[in-house]
Amino acid sequence: MLTKRQNLLETIRGGKPDRFVQQYEALEMVFNPIMMHSPAPQPGQLNVVNDWGVTNSWPAGTPGAFPVHTPDKIVVKDITKWREYVHAPNVKFSDEEWEPFIKQAEAVDRNEYFVTSFIAPGLFEHCHHLCEIQNALINFYEEPECMHELIDYLTEWELALAKEICSHQKPDAIFHHDDWGSQTSTFISPDMFNEFFLPAYKKIYGYYKEHGVELIIHHSDSYAATLVPDMIEMGIDIWQGVMTTNNIPELISKYGGKISFMGGIDSAKIDYSGWSQDVIAKEVRRACDENGRLYFIPCASQGLAISTFPGVYEVTSEEISKYSKEVFG
């Protein structure tokens, strides 16, 4: 029987997996000191201000935290003066501060799991966290030079963070959040995405690959099918969060072998008050039947090994395991 790590690699490399990958089972998430220094809300917490000055809330019963953008809480009041408002947090920490996070990575059995560094938010999310979503989208059209400058600044900060992560933890994979669309469309056109974000992500993901990271896993629980060529060019190995609105079988047929797809089970269809195991079982079987054994990892679209309602994540993994025995024997 293949280890969890081996089975994932066989799946994404067109080999001979002996079962479906159960969601995040092969990824052991590790964290870093910046996340401890920059406060983030827990479920039910409201109006928590992080080190960028962004206010976030996580209302109870919702999938995750999101910025609060009442006029008084928007960080960048005027994009032409963004340097007055945006001040990147420190990424340099003492050996003592790194010690528990290094131990976290060292405790992982790397034959079984990928030591996976968790990084959020990504560049697009960072832009709208700082500017507010409508303002950010308008700024791409009205003040492109300023947005290029802001993205360059955020990219340099991410590269500095990447240097610290790689030197201290030596991760096998990174799991990078950046939602690029709604359920039915990308937030910006492919051409605009190519102009503003492709060069930046090539630098960031290229750095990780050059410093020993085997897998780049990018989370965007959205429609982003039109951005897959850019994902491939920037070095993404697995797109996590791919929703059913993307025509996943077509993407696998066209791009399998260059990138793999982790998702196919929309969280909203299984993760709700009053959820049932029967519904989850049907969604798991549909996703596996539609998308096949290779270049596809059945997974809820939500961007971590969690669920909004207790038990949903665990039952989804259980149903994947059950169906694996039917499909693989």
- pLDDT tens profile 234-270: 999 999 999 999 999 999 999 999 999 999 999 999 9
Which residues, given as ranges, of the chain have pLDDT below 50?
Answer: none
What pLDDT is stored for residue 328 in this prediction? Answer: 96
What pLDDT is stored for residue 62 in this prediction? Answer: 87
Please, is 194 exposed, middle or buried when counting C-beta atoms within 10 Å of its C-beta (0-12, 13-18, 19+)? middle
What pLDDT is stored for residue 60 in this prediction? Answer: 87
* CA of residue 184 relative to chain centroid, distance: 18
CB atoms within 10 A of CB 280: 24
**Phi/psi of residue 148, each to 5°?**
-60, -45
* Architecture category of domain 4-31+63-328 in CATH: Alpha-Beta Barrel (3.20)
Name the token pair of 177.
Answer: 């959040």
What pLDDT is stored for residue 64 in this prediction? Answer: 86
* CA of residue 17 relative to chain centroid, distance: 24
Residue in 39, 6, 218 with CA at minimum distance from that of residue 114: 6
**Phi/psi of residue 316, each to 5°?**
-60, -45
Give the global pTM.
Answer: 0.97
Residue in 287, 285, 235, 243 with CA at minimum distance from that of residue 267: 243
* CA of residue 317 relative to chain centroid, distance: 19
CB 313 within 8 A of CB 305: yes
How far is Cα 86 from Cα 74, in angstroms, rounded to an integer?
11
* CA of residue 274 relative to chain centroid, distance: 27
What pLDDT is stored for residue 61 in this prediction? Answer: 83
Beta strands in 178-274 (DSSP E): 215-219, 238-242, 260-265
* Domain ranges, ordered by start, for the chain: 4-31+63-328
CA distances from 96 to 38, 93, 102, 169 (A): 17, 8, 10, 14
